[in-house]
Amino acid sequence: MKAHRTRSKGSRRSAGTLAAGMGVAGLLMGGATLEPGAGPTAVPEPPPMLEYASPMAPARPVSLEIPALGLDTSRFVRLGLTDGGQLAAPGPWQAVGWWSGGPAPGQMGAAVLAGHVDSRTGPAVFFGLESLQRGHRIRVGRADGTTADFAVERVESHAKNDFPTQRVYAPSRERAELRLITCGGAFDTTTGHYTANIVVYARLIG
């Protein structure tokens, strides 16, 4: 069984509570910071996106690898909906939750994986998710022995009270896509929750 490599970065102030069925805002990437007297910093062009690969047959996810984050884990749990109709949060902090009411990763449509950003003792499985950039690879091992290879298209932050549910979960009849969801924004000490959700949008490329 693969092991998740714990990252050495410090945790946020408290536990990240997932509320993936809610929440909108803008892109996380800001402009370049300039030192006094310095000229503008050139921003490298993002790598060209590869064409969509053909959708795969259904097969549940069993492992997740994101090289840019040093993430390699086989701890998966199935996720359902809460009584309020929102995506339930994964129980273990280091487990990746798969929304089993939707497509499997690689299958036609938008597959959804969710995870906590941190815990009371340190970083959780999706810590650093907001740092992913266009072109970064995401590999999902599947129960049938195949691997679904995805490329990140964009990363967005959505306030939990203005979450674009239709855009995130909308079915597709032509392509296989992936969404990774975790908490983001500021931590509200009054409610004990983060104010936003980070959503990574990726496409199947192989």
pLDDT digits (tens, 9 = 90+) for 154-198: 999 888 788 878 888 776 678 999 999 999 888 888 877 888 899
SS3 state at 196: strand
Mind giving me the DSSP string for 153-180? Answer: EEEEEEEGGG--HHHHH---SS-EEEEE
CB atoms within 10 A of CB 161: 11
Q: How far apart are CA 125 and CA 186, in angstroms?
A: 19
- What digits encode the pLDDT tens for the residues 62-106? 999 999 999 999 999 999 988 888 888 888 899 999 999 999 999
**Burial grade of 186 (CB within 10 A; 0-12, 13-18, 19 or more):** exposed
The domain locations on the chain are 61-204
Q: Considering the entire predicted model, what is its pTM?
A: 0.77
- The tokens of 154 are what? 């964009």
Residues 87-97: pLDDT tens digits? 888 888 999 99
* 61-204 is a CATH 2.40.260.10 domain: yes
